[in-house]
Structure 1
Amino acid sequence: MTHKHFYYLVILVASPLISTALGLKCFQCNSAESPDCATLKSNDTDISPHLKDCEVNQPDHEPFCRKIVTKILDGESVRVIRSCGWILQEPARRNDTCRSNDSDYVLRTSCYCFSDACNRATPLGAAPLSTTLLIVSLAKVIIRSIDIVF
């Protein structure tokens, strides 16, 4: 592996760590107060006033983004709340996940995730573009370095 390839590899591996070190940004809003909170799109990250840094309220806990969608099954009422969180109700796993609970006339879906702006309207299971590009670039560097060795 040449020095040039090594530097690319270091940059690719370090870039997500830098983002994490700078703090997590989540959408923070309530559709009852801001109707546009219910329909945030994946490209709203540069223009949305709802994308804010998470404050560190629990220094010994890792922050995450949360999205709670509450639907009243008797009518058309839907409330979306997006926020930062610090304490998971389940054992701490860094997997993006959602759970649904329903009662007599209410369906509540709670999702949490661990990357910037991940609590938008797009599915939480989808990998962000930057992560996908990182993996593809890293694979190319590794394949090229293997070819150089052999």
Structure 2
Amino acid sequence: MVSLTKLSSATVLSFTVIITLIGCFVLSANAIRCHQCNSHLDEDCNSLRLTVPRGVRDDQYLDDCQVPDDATRVFCRKTVTNIIVNSEKRIVRSCGWRAEDLRGRNDTCMTADNEGFFEEICACFTDGCNSAPSSMGVQTNVLMAFGLSILMIISSAVRSG
């Protein structure tokens, strides 16, 4: 067995980066967290803004998805229903697992014009993506992995030069 003192710093650095990347991508692949609420029952669900005193801003409805064993692809869903009769707008945020409804597309929306109401159903595949629109479209763990990789490369360059 080779001791760590005999390995070059580049080899140790390579192992560290590989293990970190595997941890970032594999460990988070099995679960997804989605906002789960109904604006008809929870006023805060409409925009995920704080309207309840001393509530937790934006993450108050974020929770792990509980899905059946036969689920093939878990995702977050946001359904916006405009009821024409009374001009009411309802938003339901939830987990989904019926991927055949998505027709193989990622981060997609579908619309339905039914008698008396209009519905838009959107699906996405990253934690908390069924929230209000966000300017950050990249998963946090991807950003962490990228940042750590850059830091390791800079550290290696400083040590060798």
Equivalent pairs counted in the alignment come to 141
Query: Quick one: distance in 2 between partners of 1:135 and 1:109?
Result: 34
Q: Which residue of 2 aligns with 1:40?
A: 48
Equivalent residue runs for 1:1-150 within 5 Å? 1-21=10-30, 23-40=31-48, 44-45=58-59, 48=60, 50-73=61-84, 76-88=87-99, 89-93=101-105, 95-103=106-114, 106-123=117-134, 126-135=137-146, 137-138=148-149, 140=150
Would you identify which runs of 4 or more consecutive aligned residues in structure 1 move more than 6 Å? 141-144
Q: Highest CA radius of gyration, 1 or 2?
A: 2
Of structures 1 and 2, the one with the larger relative CO (CA 8 A, separation 6+) is 1
Listed as ranges, the gaps of 5+ residues in structure 1 are none
Query: Quick one: distance in 1 between partners of 2:121 and 2:147?
Result: 31
Percent identity over the alignment is: 32
- SS of match in other structure, 1:57: coil
Give TM-score, length-normalised by structure 1: 0.72
Give TM-score, length-normalised by structure 2: 0.68
Residues 95-104 or 120-129, more deviating: 120-129
Q: CA RMSD in A?
A: 3.2
Listed as ranges, the gaps of 5+ residues in structure 2 are 1-9, 50-56
Query: Quick one: distance in 2 between partners of 1:134 and 1:13?
Result: 9
Query: Quick one: distance in 2 between partners of 1:84 and 1:97?
Result: 15
Deviation of the 1:73 alpha carbon: 4.9
